[in-house]
Amino acid sequence: MSTFITLKVNGKSYEIDVPPDMPLLYALRNNLMLNGPKYGCGIERCGSCMVLLDGKAEPSCMKPCSDLEGVDITTIEALGSRDNLSPLQEAFVDMQAAQCGYCINGMIISAKSLLDQNPNPTLPEIKEGLQRVLCRCGSQSRIIDAVLLAAKKLKT
């Protein structure tokens, strides 16, 4: 049973033929071929699948596509491409803030949401902003440093 659903992703509208209960994550990865958001747990507990919904970081692994018509969906791909990174992405590269990198999508999307609302976050505010996203490699201290660096870059 599928119907056409219109999703607005990274500034463009896409009409896709998917079951209405299909979580957004599958549409992003498999229909729109976006690799940024990752499957991690499927129950909104790890943050690998984070996207911006109307500018706010949210997991995409449970929210059905049918609920998201009219919502502005932004993925990490829209923040900056490999040849033209945004200051936030650049800060992660500068700090070499990754090991396996599987969680980095969630980290950057959460940091983007945080910095948009709070350009001068304190350490506890950064930790709170990233709390939903799990990292197993233990890159958290670098990730915190990367967000601090990004805040600095965005000011100049």
Partner 1 sequence: MSAYPSNANRRSFLKQTGRILIGFNLLPLGFCSLQAEGEGEGPSSDKINIDSWIRIGADGQVTILTGKMELGQGIKTAIMQIAAEELDVHMDRVNIIIADTAHTPDERYTSGSASIEGGGMTIRKAAASARHILMDMAAKKLDLNKNILSVADGVVSDGKSSISYWELLTGKRLEGKLLDEVMVKAPADYSLVGTSYPRKDIIDMVSGGEVYVQDLKLPGMLHARVYRPPSYAAKATSVPGEIVNDMPGVVKLVRNGNFIGVIAKEEFQAVKALQVLQAESKWEQSSLYPTQDLLLAKMKEQAKGEEVEKTLKGSFSSNDQTIHALYTKPYQMHASIGPSCALALFDDNGLMVWSHTQGVYPLRKTLADLLDLPEEAIRVKGVPGAGCYGHNGADDVAADAAILAKAYPGFPIRVQWMRYDEHAWEPYGSAMAFELSGNVKNGKISSWQTKLWSDTHSSRPGGKAGHFIAARSLENPREFDAGGYSAGSYRNSIPLYDFPREIIHHKYSGPLRTSALRSLGAYGNVFALESFMDELAYSIQEDPVKFRLDHLKDERAKDVIRMVADKAGWDSGDRKSGMGIAFAQYKNTAAYLAVVVKVVADYINQTYRIGKMTAVIDAGQVINPDGLRNQTEGGMLQAASWTLFEEVKYDESGITSTNWETYPIMRFASVPEIDVHIIERSLEKPLGAGEAAQGPVGAAIANAVFNATGSRLRDLPLRPEKIDWNKL
Residue whose token pair is 């915190």? 144
End-to-end CA distance of the chain: 51
DSSP H helices, 61-103, are: 87-94
List phi, psi (to 5°) of 92: -65, -40
Residue with smaller CB distance to partner 1, 85 or 154: 85
Whichever of 7 and 108 has its CB closer to partner 1, that residue is 108
CB of 43 to partner 1, least distance (A): 6
CA 2 centroid distance within chain: 27
Q: Which tokens go with 120?
A: 């001068």
Shortest distance, CB of residue 145 to partner 1, whole angstroms? 10
For the record, the structure tokens of 125 come out as: 């505010």
The footprint of partner 1 (CB under 8 A) covers: 1-2, 17-19, 22-23, 26, 29-31, 33-36, 38-43, 45-46, 48, 75-77, 79-82, 85, 89, 92-93, 96-105, 108, 126-128, 130-131, 133-142, 144
In the bound state with partner 1, the residue whose beta carbon lies nearer, of 34 and 68, is 34
